[in-house]
Amino acid sequence: MALRCSGLRRSFGALAAVDGVDLEVAPGARHALIGPNGAGKSTLFKLVTGTMRADAGTVELAGRDVTGQSEVARCRLGMSQTMQHASLFASMTATETVALAVQRHDGGRIVPWPRRRPAVRERAEELLAGVGLAGRGSTPVPALSHGERKQLEVAVALACRPSLLLLDEPAAGMSAAERARLVEVLAELPADITLLIVEHDLDLVFSVADAVTVLHLGEVLLSGTPDEVRASEDVREAYLGAKRREELFLG
């Protein structure tokens, strides 16, 4: 398995935010993690990435136990991520931002201006093109649209050459056109990169995912194919206010 979580638990006082979660993500999968507000998605994401420690359970990356490893150590082993809230440098251009990530991954001396290192600049521009930002490399980060900044974050994450890429709410705040472009970007990711996406936008999820895990009250409600999740009465009932399946799954 590209990722295996076994019996993961994390409590905050009397509240079990993640309560004995088992999760398996197959190599090369486009796996979505969904659930209503308060289901435990964000906490589980942090347990997987290492930004939060589990009270119990294990996390394995490609068969290797990384439960005790830091976020940085997990990144070195092939795990990369984007965050729900962007953390990009406003003083840099798109190319400079990705070039910084490329240099950090390569472990060499960091040069602020990638034009001084043609190989780094070429790699950065290749990554930008791969996420739909060809020709936008010289654009300052603040001048990019919200959707373009999300695409830039994906390029930064890919600079680490990950085997597993985790995306936390990548469509948050996007317009319909930006979401459509994001779907295209995710569809064009290399097949050898496994994708785990936490997302509220169910239309986007069912446009991208080939496997879906539904969390509810900190536990796995269902793991299966998109069709199995669409057909589940338990999933429908877990989403408050969705009286009919058609109201929940519009796509």
Q: What is the pLDDT along the chain (251 residues), one digit of tens a residue?
A: 999 999 999 999 999 999 999 999 999 999 999 999 889 999 999 999 999 999 999 999 999 999 999 998 999 899 999 876 666 888 899 999 999 888 877 665 555 555 567 888 899 999 999 999 999 999 999 999 999 999 999 999 999 899 999 999 999 888 899 999 999 999 999 999 999 999 988 989 999 999 999 999 999 999 999 999 989 988 988 875 454 555 555 44
Domain boundaries, given as residue ranges, for the chain: 1-78+163-251, 85-161
Structure tokens at 196: 């785990």
What is the pTM (predicted TM-score) of this model? Answer: 0.88
DSSP state string for 134-153 = TT-TTSBGGGS-HHHHHHHH
Query: Was domain 1-78+163-251 assigned CATH 3.40.50.300?
Result: yes
Reduced to 3 states (helix: H, G, I; strand: E, B; else coil), residue 62 is: coil
Q: How far apart are the first and last CA of the chain?
A: 30
